[in-house]
Amino acid sequence: GVTVQMLRDLMEEAMKRVPVEKPRAFIRRETLTLSQRIEDLRGRLRKRGKFSFRAIMQRCETRIEVVIVFLAILELLKSGECSVEQERRFGDIQVSAAIAGAPA
């Protein structure tokens, strides 16, 4: 099964891929919220049934977005709306919609 450590390792991998933003003279307000990302991932699960953890993380453009996506997946796991599965060690993790009536 997939452990929290495995999820954390994949998040660290995603964080290393996204460069640290250089300080700017102005602060750009991040408009992506956790609740928005949860809804986005719910929609993805409804439409496709599953998605790749690695692919979803590769779409993140900032470290803040990586953290928000990771937290959104954890919230969906906690609420029992999805499950995670990894076929082989160090392989990608598939996030799948939970089956109605199945134990979380």
Is residue 43 a part of any domain in this protein? yes
In this prediction, residue 102 carries a pLDDT of 53
φ, ψ for residue 14 (rounded to 5)? -65, -40
35 vs 4, residue with greater confidence: 35
CB 92 within 8 A of CB 56: no
Q: Which residue has the tokens 């937290």?
A: 71
Please give the single-letter amino acid code of residue 64: I
Is residue 25 a part of any domain in this protein? no
- pLDDT tens digits, one per residue of 40-99: 999 999 999 999 999 999 999 888 899 999 999 999 999 999 999 988 888 899 999 997
Is residue 40 a part of any domain in this protein? yes
d(CA 87, CA 16): 23
Is residue 56 a part of any domain in this protein? yes
- What is the count of structural domains for the chain? 1
Residues 10-27: what's their mean pLDDT?
A: 76
CATH of the domain at 61: 1.10.10.580
In this prediction, residue 104 carries a pLDDT of 47
Is residue 103 a part of any domain in this protein? no
Instruction: Give residue 35's Cα distance to chain centre.
Output: 13
- pTM of this prediction? 0.74
